[in-house]
Structures are given as C-alpha cells and as structure tokens.
Amino acid sequence: MSTEKIPTKFRKRFGQHFLKDIGIIENIVASINLGEIDHVIEIGPGLGALTQKILESNCQLDAIEIDRDLAKRLNERFSCSKNFKLHIADALHYDYKANKAGGKTMRVVGNLPYNISTQLIFKLFDTIDSFADMHFMLQLEVVKRLTAARGEKSWGRLAIHAQYHCEVEHLFNVPPSAFTPRPKVQSAVVRLTPHLQKPFEEVDLHILRDTTRLAFSQRRKTLRNNLKSVIDVSKLRDIDINPDARAEALEINQFVKLAKLIHES
C-alpha cells in the first residue's frame, strides 16, 4: 500500500477515489512501458502515487489537477523534479494540443473521475492525432462499453467512436479495495491506441457524433423512427442499411456511411 497521507475530506464533485495499492500502480506503469523519451500527460494525479512511479522513468510529465489543495501538495512533493510540470486546470477544458512539445506525440494516463470519464474521453478524441496512446483507470462498466462488439448490450456511441479512432484493450480489473475511499463499483484499466492506418473512411466527426446520438436516442426504436427528422429513411436501403433495424445492429462502417448520407441530405 502507498504510504502517502490520505486526506480526511474528499470532494465528491470531483469524483475523488485515490489509488493506493502499490501492486496495481506497478501493473499500470508496466503496461505503459515508459522511457525517458516519452512525454506523458497525467489527468487527475490526486496524491501522486502513480505520478511518483511515472517520474521514475525520467520521462517528461505534465500533470493536470483541478483540486487546488491537492495541487499544492503535488507541487510540494514533485517541484524539485525538472521533468515535472503541474497545470491547475479542468481536464474537460484543457488545451491538450498546447502541451505538445518538439513534435512528439503525447501518452495520456489517468485515474479518471467516474462522473466525467465518458465526457472526457470524447474530448480527447477531438485531438486524437496528438496522442500515441492512452491508459485509463475507469469504472468497469465503462470499459465494457468501450470494448463492446456490435449486437452486444453495451454496444453504443462510446464503443463506436472509441473503435473508430483506436484499438481498445481491456488490460485488467481493479477491486474497490485498491482505492480510498472505496468506490461502490469495480474498476478496470484500459488501453486506447490510435490507429496508425485508419480502418474506416474519413468522416466529419461532428456529423458522426450527431448521427450516433440520434440513432441511439431511443434504443428500442428502429432507425426509421430515430432518424426520420433528419433524413428520408427510404434512402437507407441505398447504402445497404435496413431502416427497420435498431442502431445496435449496425457496424462502424455503416455509421460512417449513414453520417455521410445525412450530411449530403
């Protein structure tokens, strides 16, 4: 277990659950396989248990922390390291491209707050070309949604957009006992690696997001019902999509075709 002093008060609005199990921390760092040439962005370093292990690789580390009390403690602990820089900011509004140095792609890691994890992942997709890979601790349910396959119950917008951009790997599970305070749910570590050669056609990401949002707006209804406000659904058969199917039946490349059709319409 980590020997770092744990706060007696937690800010629920920040979704704080501090990772304390040194074995899990070492597994995460081993999975990332860092070197001194790497430039790492750590989101939500908290008390710095993972931060400490990351810095041992001698990589460049930029940490983003919204909690000013924690930021003060992090600066006191790591400011002596020339490779460490702390940004007191909201990860949802942070300019990740501004952190890109020397043309190097960044590697992102974080124990993401459960209450903003999905929203934050979508934000990172906006600058996906800036990242070499991303390793996140997430609620297990979210990891299942990221890795879901077409037709599965968890198949939805998150899986479609994640797999459009990245190869997604569920690395290992993490029990509630690894955190303070203990969350009420299981967690897991996931790796997202942007595709070097994109397996799908290029499409406007805003249109693709709007398309998947509409298609899944009422999961039990058909595409005919969910898309009738934006397209003549009779045209769906022209791109080999059954208008009487539900969104969960479609593959990613079909959503890409659908987004292009809606855009043209």
Indicate if 126 and 210 belong to the same structural domain. Answer: no
Backbone angles phi, psi at 111, to 5 degrees: -90, 90
Indicate if 49 and 126 belong to the same structural domain. Answer: yes
Domain stop point among 156, 172, 194: 194
Residue 243 in domain: yes
Q: Residue 9: what pLDDT?
A: 52
Q: Residue 237: which pLDDT band, with cuts at 50, 70 and 90? A: very high
Q: Residue 101: what pLDDT?
A: 67
Q: Residue 105: what pLDDT?
A: 82
Q: Residue 17: what pLDDT?
A: 83
pLDDT surpassing 60 at residue 90: yes
DSSP 88-126: ES-TTT--SGGG--TTPPEEEEEE--TTTHHHHHHHHHT
pLDDT tens-digit map of 211-229? 999 999 999 999 999 999 9
The mean pLDDT value for 54-82 works out to 96
Please give the distance of CA 149 from its chain centroid, rounded to a whole number. 17
pLDDT surpassing 50 at residue 14: no
Provide CB contacts within 8 A for 211, sequence distance 6+: 255, 258, 259, 262
Domain stop point among 132, 160, 194: 194
Indicate if 177 and 216 belong to the same structural domain. Answer: no
Range 242-245 contact pairs with CB under 8 angstroms and sequence separation of 24 or more: none
Q: Residue 6: what pLDDT?
A: 47
The mean pLDDT value for 119-132 works out to 96
The mean pLDDT value for 191-219 works out to 95
The mean pLDDT value for 108-136 works out to 95
Indicate if 167 and 248 belong to the same structural domain. Answer: no
Indicate if 38 and 152 belong to the same structural domain. Answer: yes
Indicate if 66 and 136 belong to the same structural domain. Answer: yes
Residue 93 in domain: yes
Sign of CA dihedral 20, 24, 27, 33: negative
Q: For residue 215, what is the domain's CATH number?
A: 1.10.8.100
Range(s) of the domain holding residue 251: 205-264
Q: Residue 102: what pLDDT?
A: 67
Residue 7 in domain: no
Q: Residue 182: what pLDDT?
A: 92
Give the CA distances from residue 53 to residues 33, 192, 203, 238, in Å, rounded to whole numbers and listed in that order.
11, 21, 39, 54
pLDDT surpassing 90 at residue 3: no
Neighbours of 229 (CB within 10 A): 8
Q: Point out the least confidently predicted range of 8-22, 35-49, 71-85, 243-257.
A: 8-22
Residue 4 in domain: no
pLDDT tens-digit map of 167-185? 999 999 999 999 998 999 9
Q: Residue 89: what pLDDT?
A: 96
Q: What is the dihedral of CA 98, 104, 107, 112, to 10 degrees?
A: 0
For residue 114, the number of C-alpha atoms closer than 13 Å in the C-beta half-sphere is 16
Residue 43 in domain: yes
Residue 5 in domain: no
Domain stop point among 169, 194, 219: 194
Burial of residue 206 (CB within 10 Å: 0-12, 13-18, 19+) is exposed
Indicate if 180 and 221 belong to the same structural domain. Answer: no
Type of residue numbered 22: I
Neighbours of 225 (CB within 10 A): 15
Indicate if 165 and 188 belong to the same structural domain. Answer: yes
Neighbours of 131 (CB within 10 A): 21
Q: For residue 156, what is the domain's CATH number?
A: 3.40.50.150
Nearest by Cα to 108 from 203, 173, 117: 117
pLDDT surpassing 60 at residue 162: yes
Supply the pTM of this predicted model: 0.91
Which string of b and e fits 60-98 if b means at least 16 CB within 10 Å?
bbbbbbbbeebbebbeebbeeeebbebbeeebeebebee
Indicate if 154 and 177 belong to the same structural domain. Answer: yes
Q: What is the mean pLDDT of the chain?
A: 92
Indicate if 165 and 236 belong to the same structural domain. Answer: no
Name the percent of the chain lying above pLDDT 90: 85
Indicate if 159 and 72 belong to the same structural domain. Answer: yes
pLDDT surpassing 60 at residue 135: yes
What is the total count of domains within the chain? 2
Residue 151 in domain: yes
Indicate if 186 and 119 belong to the same structural domain. Answer: yes
Q: Token pair 């299942």 is at which residue?
A: 144
